[in-house]
Amino acid sequence: MMRRLSTLFVLCALVNLPAHAACPREPQAIDLPAQPLDEALEQLAVQTGCTIEGKRELARLRASSVNGAYRPEEALWALLQGTGWEGYTTDEGLEVSKRQQRWVLKQTADLRARIEQHTALAPDTRRAYLEEIYAVERSAQALAFEQGFISAAEQASYRRSLSAIRDAL
């Protein structure tokens, strides 16, 4: 009888486990040699237990070595530095994308179109708006390249800058 109860308890516990283990957020030992980025991401997934989405197009890029105690997202950012790609945490694990750069480019394209349609805009004002838009685009690309991510504070700064132009139009 006791054996049946313990077997039943184990089975119930297994049924309640999530389909995938959560990606740990605490620092852990990471040891990745310099190698093609797609291979480095595969090894990072194995070493951390985190799923990594969006790594298919990265075979031609090279990752630097990453050795030490890192949270999974910190190791991802270190691997992505110098590539122009962004790394993010998700509910399922980690993601490699250019989502913030794409968001910036969509917003700036929309603003450029609005500026072109705004025929009463003074030439100096038009030029100033276009320079600000270009500066935001350059900044997003540079940060992704240098850091491997675009922080929430930087995203908020871009939103404020672009909203100020949008509101003025």
* pLDDT tens digits along 55-76: 677 888 999 999 999 999 999 9
Task: Give the mean model confidence (pLDDT) for residues 25-30.
Answer: 95
**Nearest-angstrom CA–CA distance, 104 and 136:** 8
pTM for the full model?
0.81
**pLDDT score for 124:** 97
- pLDDT for 115 beyond 80: yes
Average pLDDT over all residues of the chain: 89
Instruction: Scan for tokens 């705004």, then name that residue.
Output: 118
**Nearest-angstrom CA–CA distance, 27 and 75:** 9
What are 30's strand-pairing partners?
68
Helices 72-80/37-48 angle, 10° precision: 170
Q: How far is CA 103 from CA 86, 91, 99, 169, in A?
A: 12, 21, 6, 20
Per-residue pLDDT band at 22 (split at 50, 70, 90)? confident
Task: Give the mean model confidence (pLDDT) for residues 92-100.
Answer: 95
